[in-house]
A and B are shown apart, each in its own frame.
Chain A
Amino acid sequence: MFGMPPPLPNQSMTSVSPAVGQIGAPVAGASKIDPNQIPRPIPGSSVILHETRQGNQANPPPPATSDYIVRDTGNCSPRYMRCTINQIPCTDDLLTTSGMQLALMVQPLAIPHPSEETVQVVDFGESGPVRCSRCKGYINPFMKFIDQGRRFICNFCGFTDETPREYHCNLGPDGRRRDADERPELCRGTVEFVASREYMVRDPMPAVYFFLIDVSMNAIQIGATAAACGAINQVIADLPEGPRTMVGIATFDSTIHFYNLKRALQQPLMLVVPDVQDVYTPLQTDVVVQLSECRQHLELLLESIPTMFLENRTAESAFGAATKAAFMAMKGTGGRLLVFQSVLPSIGIGALSAREAEGRTHLSAGEKEAHKLLQSADETLKAMAIEFAEYQVCVDVFITTQTYVDIASIAVIPRTTGGQVYYYYPFSAVSDPAKLYNDLRWNVTRPQGFEAVMRVRCSQGIQVLEYDGNFCKRMPTDVDLPGIDCDKTIMVTLKHDDKLKDGSECAFQCALLYTTVNGQRRIRVTTLSLPCTSILSNLFRSADLDTQFACFLKQAASEIPSRPLLLVKDRMTNLCINILLSYRKFCATVTSSGQLILPEALKLLPLYTLALIKSKGLRTDGRIDERSFWINYLSSISTPLAIPFVHPRMVAIHDLNSKEGDQSLIPPVISLSTEHVNDGGIYLLENGEDCLIYIGNSVDSDILRQLFCISSVDEIPAQFVLQQYDNPLSKKLNDLVNEIRRQRCSYLRLKLCKKGDPSGMLFFSYMIEDKSSSGLSYVEFLVHVHRQIQLKMSS
């Protein structure tokens, strides 16, 4: 029944988590904890069927990382939007007491499971979708029709609206509209409305792709230019067909080279823009051309660019100027700008300095503000990015490099324009082109939208505090997304501005107005309605670990550039401790003070927190660019990919053959601890971006031959290309990697690792449960957390 509080069975003791280990005295050694009993993720292998609402109540979603199929029964699929807590605290005090965050993870264009129903498109014609006349909330299953359907009450602002005449329908005996089940907007959590004229300031833009390639000396010499040209040349075939697809291309070193592709007779014409302080586009038209008109020219050109610049001795790179010039060429339409950059931008607008090196000297001199290197160097690129966003240009930067390029500064452009950074370091002409091609291909073929605007509305009592992600914000209420795709997630933090009524429901609605690749203007409306509660234990029970932790990660990522690292680490640890403390203090009934008590839903929080603390982003030993990339990667990461990114998945692959008959392609997960890594084994570890294959020192040479076509560990190539050999083991490994690629929507950077080698060190740096220079072991960390809780309890 609408508005009823959800029943909470077993309200009291049972939700209390099992005590883990007896910790008698504060000085008690870790030896007393059985490492095998501490909480670890146990992935469910079977597919979960999930109905978003059952019995008119919100159904808590399955873990984001699990395999599930959703049936939209009123609330949106958790793929599109999920909340850190599946019940909304009635008051701000209650939320504060819990120590938890209230936030939404919104991924409006997420890819549904193949077995799920596709999002239905609703066309209201010229009048456009029905909306609340006060708050402009869109019609959704939780708007309550009254007065024989003549009026409806908005579930956001509570205003009573007149039903438009043509939309009127009588109510049935259950108080619902009789047509509710036939109308997707009245029975589905996610629908897509066809946008009417009033949603367009201009005709929907065409699909424009502009490729900008670094051809400076270094880019040429490391093979990055050739790789980029090759990838683009292959990808052209994947671009949307039809007259609405337009392409342009430019190269740059210390000058910018455009190409006029629209030439009847001869080769493309190269137009050099040499002024990189005050750039301009050399042609008004003909730089961006319909793909169908220039396909041959383009292919020819892409083939010849690497040779044309083979002798290039220009080391300088005018990244900022080139980006701006390309922007000017596509300003009229907007579109996607794909930049391939290989060196530090050193000249022209937005030129950067090699501040990493400067930073290192400062660091050794005791510089306190090392994190400044993770901030953008100046405001030039930011200002440019805002202008790009205004004209609907979305920039992605593919960084193929072997040096420092100052990602912290460069990344401002993709982050502001709804794009992203791809990072290939150290770039290898052998192993990286395949990933570059696949990344580029996914970039242009994945479900996506252009010139988008997004807003989240909440029921009275709650309001949006902040949006976090890759976008540009010009108005406080909306986010502008020149580009939005299925991988991009936006975190929406919420705050109370009033008390909520216990037992009522609180709704959240995300509306995304965008243009499809085919030039249709659409509004995707995603609505989630959750019960409100004034009981603390309900919050703990309905806490969503994956969402909470994704929220943790994004907050950490945004704090790292502006605070000393120690403070960030402390804050993350304290966030974890405070939640557990609150639970211990107010919900746990087991009074034994010697026990560490974890809420069931959040029992893995300490492990993940530890993983976060030990991650690249929060370590000082990493390279600045690597940390910047880490920060940027997280800014738009989706909930399912968040945890694996810091807490990777490790599986054994030397014994893939022995698991005959097992349906799953992915072997059982192994805990991230050295003790599970044997010298005779081969292990694959992946975090959605990198994939390390560790080969023990005494692996059977037969297995090596089957998998890698080498006979001993010493022959491990530094640059690895996965190949399939004619044997079952190799096939299984390939299947496994492909399955992971599918799950993560990522091609993965594969690397072979061995002991006693930097690659081995890298591998072992992911052994989070081990004690290492970067932090405590898992057991020690639990002891630390426990001690802190006890300290706070007694104070």
Chain B
Amino acid sequence: MAEFLELESQDGVRMPWNVIPGTKQESSNCVVPVSAIYSPIRPLPNITLLPYSPLRCRTCRSVLNPFAIVDFAAKIWICPFCFQRNHFPPNYASISDDNLPAELFPHYTTIEYSQDNQIGQSPPQPPLVFLFVIDSCLIEEEMGFLKSSLSQAFDLLPDNSLVGLITFGTLVHVHELGFAQIPKTYVFRGNKDISKEQLLEHMSFFAKKPKPPGVIAGARDGLSADSISRFLLPKADCEFAFNSVLEELQKDPWGVPTDQRATRCTSTALSIAASLLGACVPGSGARIMAFIGGPSTEGSGAIVSKNLSEPIRSHKDLDKDSAPLYHKAVKFYEGLSKQLVHQGHVLDLFACALDQVGVAELKIAVERTGGLVVLAESFGHPVFKDSLRRIFQAGDYDLGLSSSGIFEINCSKDIKVQGIIGPCASLEKKGPLCSDTVIGQGNTTAWKMCGLDKATSLCLIFEVVKKESPDATIQSTSNQFYFQFLTYYQHYSGQMRLRVTTLSRRWVAGPGSIQDLVAGFDQEAAAVVMARQVSFKMETEAEFDPIRWLDKALIHLCSRFGDYQKESPSSFSLSPRLSIFPQFMFNLRRSQFVQVFNNSPDETAYFRMILNRENVANSVVMIQPSLISFSFHSGPEPALLDVASIAADRILLLDSYFTMVIFHGATIAQWRKAGYHNQPEHQAFAYLLQAPRDEADSIIKERFPVPRLVICDQHGSQARFLLAKLNPSATYNSDGPLPGGDVIFTDDVSFEVFLDHLQRLAVQ
């Protein structure tokens, strides 16, 4: 396991197969696809920033890397991808065996280049743009919470950033923060789509000079800086205006009959925001930050009618295709996402309501643009408040928000790219590397990442196309596959950077290769790839049965890689490399990603969006929560994710990523209620109570979105947050109660039963 983590800290990459099944047939037998979870701008401890431009292969444009074969005498390097011989340029003249440029150091498989390096020559950094889009159909209390969070957030914005403000309800209000005399807003109909051209026209961008022909795009192309600065102002210049609009912002004044939902034109507001940015600052980093407090009921993106008697769509409705507005809304947001990707802008979504707000529909626009998403039940909830603060907070745990990213892949010719599951958008750059089988964002070797941050992790899925060849001699001299990931992005310092990660992996084929494959199997990465895949298939494939698909995959994998005698279940065993994989699958089957009916479509969309952007370690926690036990008998130690772990004198800390649960056993709870921890003679108890809090805090401060913290007692109502995640080894129809005294009221099978079945089926 440790070697995989080491590779991750060197290159930011985890692969299920670190030894690659070398042929098409072989790889398809391996069930888990050849793939990688790659975090393009993960901070790496040993990374070097080179102050010059990279050297590229003449034919395939791949970047010079440690795997290139260098002929020092001839000053030639051979590209490992296309075998092209390239001459070094004159500035590499002094290159020799002991005078290597950094990009050829064997350990610098990941390296960064910064193009604008020359001192004094760096172009002025374009300011970051934040366009706030605020729902005004809120009750007073929520409005108050939101206002105070926003004004805090405003203070935290970088000083040079540009700020714009849109509020909406029945209508969309675009605030002209730059109008000095009186507060001024442009008001648009909520139920009418409006194009960018109409918007330009309507907001009098050409009042002072005639509209230029052709495409209008920012200050370079047609718009005067003056007219842009009416709506997007430097933070310092609009502080007063921003705050006074916020202060005066009232609940949407259009009356709502008691049997109706508020008229909320979320989609129109977002579309106007996108068009405004598209007109003013196309191509440079800008974020639309949408704060939404209820379901959209107006415009093309409405998710439900205004009539309260009509419930908001559930997974059942979506399954039965009886959510009349769903497809229209998704289609609308697909269009919006295309526009945003084209402009290079990000949509961040803060959905805070007890109702669904339409995250399921908005997902496509947030995910394709690499936006952040936070789902909470109130603007007053710490999940929202703390998350929002985290976005702008500088310091150790800042998110490192970057923008305008482009991600490209090169790989050996026997490998093709099926696609990426993750927060990016295909740039439709087709090439010989593209597989015919497409998954996620495919059909391309380049992707746009409008927004990305330190945590952003893409799941790249490959296809091995090498044909089986019986003649070993024809096999190429090399048994290595090469991959190169190129990420251009605007670093949060404003600098444009290129990160290059070049990987080499051995491939094996033929009989006897199983041991090699098992040795290179990263079961955590594999579980995460399976989770992303199953989520993706559930969303895109009609009639898809995820349980069946997962079970088949697991059985297939076990019967291929397990040790057993045919038809003898008791003889079955798995190598340590694979041993926890069945448990991951057991928990994945029970997780929110597969058992969607416990959640609303919004929640499911939210969970999947986070899964699709997180790294392996965090994703594993989502699939299989971690449980730590605290007691007087021992220090904090990992506990089995099983109902048997519950004990009256223990405190359990469950981390299921979205929720952290501190669970006080019955005795602990009694003591606490008696107030022992406040008595000096029971200081040890106070420490015991505090320990899980400290542990939780240390996790919370690293995580975005900030997880929900639930503190509960055994047998209390909140205890369900823990019980739902535990293996039901003791249920109401078990024989005798466990020592912990808790049972789970479920008909779900326990892990033991699951494993029995698996063994039986795998050996057939």
Binding site for B on A (CB under 8 A): 254-255, 257-258, 263, 265-275, 278, 280, 282-286, 301, 304, 307-308, 312-314
Contact = CB atoms under 8 A, between A and B. Distances in A.
Given A270-B185, A284-B253, A284-B254, A275 B202 contact: yes
Contact of B244 (A266, A274, A304): A266
Nearest to B174: A272
A272 to B, nearest CB: 4
A255 B204 contact: yes
Interface in B226-260: 244, 247-248, 253-255
B189 A275 contact: yes
A526 to B, nearest CB: 43
A272 B230 CA distance: 14
B208 A271 contact: no
Contacts of A273: 187
Contacts of B253: 283-286
A269 B171 contact: no
Contact of B182 (A286, A308, A312): A308
Contacts of A270: 179, 182-185
Given A255-B202, A285-B253, A272 B192 contact: no
A254 B204 contact: yes
A270 B207 CA distance: 18
18 contacts: A257-B184, A258-B187, A263-B248, A266-B183, A266-B248, A267-B183, A269-B182, A269-B184, A269-B248, A270-B184, A274-B201, A275-B194, A278-B189, A278-B192, A280-B171, A282-B187, A308-B182, A314-B207
A263 B187 CA distance: 18
B183 A269 contact: yes
B202 A269 contact: no
B217 interface: no
Given A255-B204, A278-B192, A271 B247 contact: no
> Which of B204, B244, B255 is the most central at the interface, judged by chain A CB atoms within 10 Å of its CB?
B204
Contacts of B247: 265
Interface of B: 171, 173, 176, 179, 181-189, 192, 194, 198, 201-204, 207-208, 244, 247-248, 253-255
B203 A274 contact: yes
Nearest to A264: B248
3 closest A-B pairs by CB: A274-B202, A282-B187, A270-B184
A308 B183 CA distance: 12
B276 to A, nearest CB: 12
A151 B310 CA distance: 62
Contacts of A312: 207
A266 B201 CA distance: 30
A268 B204 contact: no
> Which of A257, A272, A301 is the most central at the interface, judged by chain B CB atoms within 10 Å of its CB?
A272
A274 B182 contact: no
Contacts of A265: 247-248
A329 to B, nearest CB: 12
A270 B187 CA distance: 10
A277 to B, nearest CB: 9
Nearest to A262: B253
A404 B388 CA distance: 57
B185 A304 contact: no
A301 B186 CA distance: 18
A795 B202 CA distance: 70
Contacts of B187: 258, 271-274, 280, 282
B188 A274 contact: yes
A343 to B, nearest CB: 15
A270 B204 CA distance: 15
A271 B204 CA distance: 14
Contact of A272 (B184, B194, B208): B184
Contacts of B204: 254-255, 274, 314
A453 B248 CA distance: 43
A273 B192 CA distance: 13
> Which of B179, B186, B187, B192 is the most central at the interface, judged by chain A CB atoms within 10 Å of its CB?
B187
Nearest to B203: A274
Contact of A304 (B182, B186, B207, B254): B182
A167 to B, nearest CB: 46
B181 to A, nearest CB: 5
B189 A308 contact: no
Contacts of A282: 171, 173, 187
A254 B198 CA distance: 13
Contacts of A274: 186-188, 201-204
B185 A269 contact: yes
A283 B252 CA distance: 9
A509 B186 CA distance: 52
Given A257-B184, A269-B183, A282-B171, 4 more contacts: A255-B202, A267-B182, A273-B187, A280-B171
B306 to A, nearest CB: 15
Nearest to A217: B207
Nearest to A254: B204
Contact of A268 (B179, B182, B207): B182
B467 to A, nearest CB: 62
Contacts of A283: 253
B256 to A, nearest CB: 11
Contacts of B185: 269-272
A269 B183 CA distance: 5
Given A269-B182, A275-B192, A278-B189, A284 B248 contact: no
Nearest to A269: B183
Contacts of B202: 255, 274-275
A512 B207 CA distance: 49
Nearest to B190: A280
A284 B263 CA distance: 13
A263 B253 CA distance: 13
A537 B70 CA distance: 128
A341 to B, nearest CB: 20
Contacts of B248: 263, 265-266, 269
B181 A308 contact: yes
Contacts of B208: 313
> Which of A268, A280, A285, A307 is the most central at the interface, judged by chain B CB atoms within 10 Å of its CB?
A280
Contacts of B255: 284
